[in-house]
């Protein structure tokens, strides 16, 4: 389903590949306004909460627009890398929140060394899941899919467990599940 990734691909590479896949799907559909073909029209968007310096392509929000002069209707596919207006990298939020499940002192030190954030920042991200995410119209509808209900105090770990497969497969499934939050239809973030 996804373009082949090198064996040493980082998690960021994986997310970028997923986003390219979503953009390809959107490119195969024609302009919703005039029915013309659409083409790539990416724009720069600097994500906050960046783990480390990455190649320039990681700072591009993949987007499309109608190829017909005079229409140019923009079409922005969902993204696994950008979570709504807050523009935090989805990967950062999720990885940190997951690592935070059972955060021992040693783990916390390792995490801080890895992502260069302090406890306060981690707490802010955890609060995002607990308060902001649970208040989105997206989640208010989507949570009905989970039976028994997911424990909202333990997001996103509580969601992750509901997807099958190994931890990487689960993570990708979770990010795909969250994709509608980034597609421009939900503005409550
Ligand atoms: Zn058009």
Is the CA virtual torsion 102, 172, 87, 145 positive or negative? negative
Residue 181 has a CB neighbour count (10 Å cut-off) of: 24
Q: 137 alpha carbon to ligand 1 midpoint, in Å?
A: 29
Model pLDDT, residue 42: 95
- The answer, yes or no, to whether residue 127 has pLDDT greater than 70, is yes
- Range in 10-14, 50-54, 107-111, 166-170 with the lowest mean pLDDT: 107-111
Residue 68 has a CB neighbour count (10 Å cut-off) of: 15
Element (H, E) at 178: helix 167-178
Cα 95 from Cα 86, distance rounded (Å):
17
Q: 189 alpha carbon to ligand 1 midpoint, in Å?
A: 29
What average pLDDT does the chain have? 74
Find, among 52, 63, 145, 142, the residue nearest to 95 by Cα: 52
Q: Tell me the mean pLDDT in the region 61-74.
A: 95
Q: Across the strands, what pairs with 145?
A: none
Find, among 140, 157, 18, 23, the residue nearest to 89 by Cα: 18
**Span 11-34, pLDDT tens digits:** 667 677 777 877 888 898 999 999
Q: Is 65 helix (H, G, I), strand (E, B) or coil?
A: strand
**Span 176-186, pLDDT tens digits:** 787 777 654 33
Is the CA virtual torsion 77, 79, 83, 89 positive or negative? negative
Model pLDDT, residue 87: 43
Q: 16 alpha carbon to ligand 1 midpoint, in Å?
A: 26
Cα 24 from Cα 12, distance rounded (Å):
18
Q: 45 alpha carbon to ligand 1 midpoint, in Å?
A: 24
- Range in 64-73, 117-126, 155-164, 172-181 with the lowest mean pLDDT: 117-126
Q: What are phi and psi of 88, to 5 degrees?
A: -75, 145
Q: 69 alpha carbon to ligand 1 midpoint, in Å?
A: 8
Q: 26 alpha carbon to ligand 1 midpoint, in Å?
A: 14
Q: 65 alpha carbon to ligand 1 midpoint, in Å?
A: 8
Would you say the pTM of this structure is higher than 0.85?
no
Model pLDDT, residue 36: 96
């Amino acid at each position: 389903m996804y373009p082949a990734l090198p064996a040493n691909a980082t998690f960021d590479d994986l997310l970028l590949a997923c986003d390219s896949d979503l953009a390809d799907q959107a490119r195969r559909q024609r302009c919703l306004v005039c029915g013309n073909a659409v083409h790539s029209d990416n724009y720069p968007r600097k994500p906050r909460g960046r783990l480390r310096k990455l190649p320039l392509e990681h700072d591009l929000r993949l987007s499309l627009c109608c190829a017909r002069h005079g229409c140019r209707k923009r079409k922005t596919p969902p993204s696994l890398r950008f979570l709504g207006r807050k523009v935090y990298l989805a990967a950062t939020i999720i990885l940190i929140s997951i690592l935070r499940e059972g955060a021992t002192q040693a783990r916390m030190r390792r995490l801080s060394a890895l992502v260069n954030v302090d406890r306060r920042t981690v707490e802010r991200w955890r609060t995002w899941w607990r308060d902001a995410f649970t208040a989105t119209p997206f989640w208010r509808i989507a949570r009905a899919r989970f039976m028994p209900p997911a424990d909202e105090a333990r997001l996103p770990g509580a969601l992750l467990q509901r997807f099958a497969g190994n931890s990487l497969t689960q993570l990708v499934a979770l990010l795909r599940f969250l994709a509608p939050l980034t597609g421009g239809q939900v503005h409550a973030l």
